Amino acid sequence: MNFHFYVGNDNGNSEHDLIIDGKIIQQPNVNCTVDQLPWSEEQSPESFIKNLQDQLVVTIDSPAARPGMYYIGKFALESGEILDNLQIGIDLKSDMDLPVVNTLAQIAAAAVQKGYEEEKKIPERIDVEVDMATALPVTQHTDETSAKFERRFTSGSHHVTVHLGIQRVAVKIVFAFVKAVPEATPVIFTLQKDADGNWRDGDIFQEFAETYNIEKKFNGSFFKDKRILHVDIGDGSTEYPITEGNKFLRQFVHGSHHGAGYAIEEALDEFNRLIHLPDSPRQFFSDVIKNLKHKYHARAMKTLKRPMESQAKQIVQNVKRQLTKARNEIDLICVYGGGSIMMRSILYPQLQELCAEREIQLLYIPAEYAVLMNAMGLDAFVRGKIYEALKNKAAQPA
């Protein structure tokens, strides 16, 4: 079986958001190496297909990462094994095995699901050709680091065995072309166009249109020539790039080591003490915060309040620094990312005040879109004309 996938791949510090072949996948960005399969009893391989991302076990043989058997994402998080995750503020994504392993695993899992869907039986082997757009933090993105990260995918083929109980599917993945762009910049594509290439409209802009009394039918064409200061709040960093139309203005590169992850790490000891655990991973705490029904939710929020206020204050300071550098010549501040959801109640009023005094509009992306803005933008980018032109240029002899 042969497939070709377009992949928009956002390797976040906390969450891995990908759009593979038009399908959104969200998983905790963790894995762990293991010595043996977790299943001994015979389970039907078909029973794994539907929720494969949640019980993903793979063996990787790739020139770009340490070979071995891995639990991926949610399955790793819930396994109790020692986790590998991205150390916030420390790890360079382009050097790490984790983003490579988790990306290969998710592409292989999507291929197995598609193969089963088409053939109504488990395929034995699948070949996948991939075109991929991915991103590195603005502060880590240089010509060298992006080329190095791209090469980890494109130099050689990757062999992934997906384990469906005791049955195996061999997936060979070859990347036709990969482009690593600075994080946050793909969002200009998300703001303007939807997945079908039409001007984006709908509830993503509802609050913004109401706040600024924009009567006429509002859509993404509004952003096509705007100068936007992005505030992309992740777990381990916040990026503050400035874009104009579809251009990334390199003279305004700025990122800071602030984000929800720092607040969580600061709160984690107190949280563990309150719930009588010696320790628990950052991702567990994140899950408790997201789940309003979790029995520890109230305690998690209580321990998080002060650290979150401190992170928000730092982010506002960095926004001011960028505005000063740009002489306030900004049409719009656009806030998104996983951290923006948790910080909204603290951050929104502060940024609103800042924007009002400097005659700038504020677009605070609603929670249901905030995490996926980068992945949606990367998906639009990988299917677009700019990517196609870069791929053609790379194919020409030097």
pLDDT digits (tens, 9 = 90+) for 200-216: 999 999 999 999 998 77
Q: How many CB atoms neighbour CB 263 within 10 A? A: 25
Say if residues 135 and 183 touch (Cβ distance below 8 Å). Answer: yes
The dihedral region occupied by 397, where left means phi > 0, alpha psi between -120 and 50, and beta the remainder, is beta
Q: Using one digit for the tens of pLDDT, what is the confidence trace for 304-360?
A: 999 999 999 999 999 999 999 999 999 999 999 989 998 999 999 999 999 999 999
Distance from C-alpha of 265 to C-alpha of 283, rounded to nearest angstrom: 10
Question: Going by DSSP bridges, is the β-strand pair 361-364/332-336 parallel, antiparallel, or unpaired?
Answer: parallel
Give the pairing type, strands 167-182 and 158-164.
antiparallel
- Strands 56-61 and 158-164 turn out to be antiparallel
Q: So what's the pLDDT on residue 197?
A: 83
- Per residue in 97-126, pLDDT (tens digit) is 999 999 999 999 999 999 999 999 999 999
Cβ(232)–Cβ(336) below 8 Å: yes
Residues ≥6 apart with Cβ < 8 Å to 243 = 185, 188, 227, 228, 230, 249
Residue 294: pLDDT band with limits 50, 70, 90:
very high
115 vs 184: which has the higher pLDDT: 115
Per-residue pLDDT, averaged over 148-170, amounts to 95
Neighbour count for residue 302 (Cβ, 10 Å): 13
- pLDDT > 90 in the chain, percent: 74
Are residues 60 and 13 in contact, defined by beta-carbon separation less than 8 angstroms? no
Q: Give the separation between CA 135 and CA 139, rounded to whole angstroms.
A: 11
Rounded Cα gap, residues 24 and 19, in angstroms: 4
Residue 351 and residue 246 in contact, taking contact as beta carbons nearer than 8 Å: no
Residue 111: both structure tokens together: 């291929």
pLDDT at 59: 98
d(CA 143, CA 180): 10
Q: Output the 3-class SS for the chain.
A: CEEEEEEEEEECCCEEEEEECCEEEEEECCEEEECCCCCCCCCCCHHHHCCHHHHEEEEEECCCCCCEEEEECHHHHCCCCCCECCCCCCCCHHHCCHHHHHHHHHHHHHHHHHHHHHHCCCCCEEEEEEEEEEEECCCCCCHHHHHHHHHHHHCCCEEEEEEECCEEEEEEEEEEEEEEEECCCCHHHHHHECCCCCECCCHHHHHHHHHCCCCCCCCHHHHCCCEEEEEEECCCCEECCEEECCEECHHHCCEECCCHHHHHHHHHHHHHHHCCCCCCCHHHHHHHHHCCCCCCHHHHHHHHHHHHHHHHHHHHHHHHHHHHHCCCCCCEEEEECHHHHHHHHHHHHHHHHHHHHHCCEEEECCHHHHCCHHHHHHHHHHCCHHHHHHHHHHHCCC
Whose tokens are 């488990």? That residue is 122
**For the chain, percent of residues with pLDDT exceeding 70:** 99
What's the token pair of residue 327?
Answer: 């002489």
Which two structure tokens, joined as six digits, stand for 262?
């720092």
What is the pLDDT confidence band of residue 89, given thresholds at 50, 70 and 90? Answer: low
Q: Which structural domains are found in the chain, ordered by start?
A: 2-182 (3.30.420.40), 187-267+303-375 (3.30.420.40)
pTM above 0.85?
yes
User: How far is 321 from 30, CA to CA, in rounded Å?
Assistant: 33
